[in-house]
């Protein structure tokens, strides 16, 4: 699925700015040039809309598993990937329990 | 992040809840593993996960309701401390691919 392919299709897009910024870079044009028929903020709901035949969803896939058996993923070409961060306020000191989690996240990082 | 701040002694016991907001994502393997290691060593800590929108996540991090947020990069390092969750080949499931979902019939 290339940028040119996508411009032909009815699309269901995420409401996340971070995804949409990346996606617009991949597309090399603003999202407003697309045929956006719906937006979502919860994966399963996007899957339901696709299942109902409303359009094609742009979907952040974490686990390579389709959410429903009647759906298939089409990889974007070129591939578009992202990763995540654990964040916490820099104005409020973390609780004792929260400090343990931070410690374990650093430990998991250093082991890989 | 100053490692000395978080480098607590292993023998110390702590209780309490940790509230984590997840912004429109599925939980990644890396954070699940860190939670597993934490709760197995500190059984009196309870983890509460909340799936929510990015906007709600920011509001509740600012208000102090959430201890942590998990969000897509790039992280807002002006307002938050951030630690990137691994996304290399060893951690395949934490790598997010943005793909197109198509209906193929039942």
CA distances from A8 to A3, A12, A19, B25 (A): 9, 13, 20, 27
Ordered structural domains, chain B, with CATH:
3-94 (3.40.190)
Looking at per-residue pLDDT, the higher value among B91 and A64 belongs to A64
- Cα B7 off chain centre by: 19
Other beta carbons within 10 angstroms of residue B63's beta carbon come to 10
Residues of chain A contacting residue B41, judged by C-beta atoms under 8 Å apart: 100
Question: d(Cα B50, Cα B62) in Å, to the nearest integer?
Answer: 15
What local confidence, expressed as pLDDT, does residue A71 receive?
80
Question: How close, in Å, is residue A28 to chain B by CA atoms?
Answer: 16
Residues whose CB is less than 8 angstroms from the CB of residue B77 and which lie 6 or more positions away in sequence, other chains included: none
**Contact between residue A66 and residue A73 where contact means Cβ atoms under 8 Å apart:** yes
Higher pLDDT among residues A85 and A66, named by residue: A85
Least confident of A17-21, B74-78, B97-101: B97-101
What is the rounded average pLDDT of the residues B37-44?
A: 91
The whole-chain average pLDDT of chain B stands at 78
Phi, psi of A21 (to 5 degrees): -65, -45
Residue B9 in contact with partner chain A when CB distance is under 8 A = no
A18 SS3 class: helix
Does A109 score more than 90 pLDDT? no
Q: Are A62 and B87 in contact (CB under 8 A)?
A: no
ipTM: 0.78
More confident residue, B4 or B82: B82
B66: helix, strand or coil: coil
Question: Which residues have CB under 8 Å from A19's CB, separation 6+?
Answer: A58, A60, A82, B72, B98
Angstroms from B84 CA to nearest CA on chain A: 4
* Any B CB within 8 A of A47 CB: yes
Question: Is A83 within 8 Å of B67 when comparing Cβ atoms?
Answer: no
Structure tokens at A91: 């104005």
Domain locations in chain A? 1-82
Instruction: Identify the DSSP state of A45.
Output: H
CA A59, CA A23: separation in Å to the nearest integer? 11
- CATH label, A1-82, candidates 3.30.420, 3.40.190, 2.60.40, 3.30.1120: 3.40.190
Give me the mean pLDDT over the A17-42 stretch. Answer: 86
pLDDT per position as a tens digit, B46-96 = 999 998 888 899 999 999 999 999 988 888 899 999 998 875 332 333 445
Residues forming a β-bridge with B95: none
- Greater confidence (B58 vs A107) lies with B58
Residue A77 touches chain B, beta carbons under 8 Å = no
């Amino acid at each position: 699925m290339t940028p040119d392919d996508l411009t032909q299709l009815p699309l269901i897009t995420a409401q996340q700015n971070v995804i949409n910024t990346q996606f617009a870079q991949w597309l090399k044009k603003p999202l407003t040039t697309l045929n956006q028929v719906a937006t979502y903020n919860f994966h399963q709901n996007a899957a339901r809309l696709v299942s109902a035949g409303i359009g094609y969803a742009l979907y952040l896939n974490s686990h390579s598993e389709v959410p429903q058996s009647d759906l298939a993923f089409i990889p974007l070409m070129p591939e578009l990937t992202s990763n995540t961060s654990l964040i916490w306020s820099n104005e409020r000191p973390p609780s004792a329990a929260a400090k343990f989690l931070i410690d374990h996240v650093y430990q998991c990082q250093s082991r890989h | 992040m100053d490692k000395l701040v978080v480098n607590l002694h292993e023998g110390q016991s702590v209780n309490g809840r940790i509230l984590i907001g997840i912004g429109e994502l599925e939980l990644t393997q890396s954070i699940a593993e860190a939670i597993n290691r934490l709760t197995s060593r500190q059984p009196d800590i309870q983890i509460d996960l909340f799936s929510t929108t990015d906007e709600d996540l920011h509001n509740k991090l600012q208000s102090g309701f959430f201890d942590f947020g998990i969000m897509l990069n790039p992280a807002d390092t002006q307002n938050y401390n951030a630690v990137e969750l691994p996304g290399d080949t060893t951690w395949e499931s934490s790598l997010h691919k943005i793909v197109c979902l198509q209906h193929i019939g039942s």
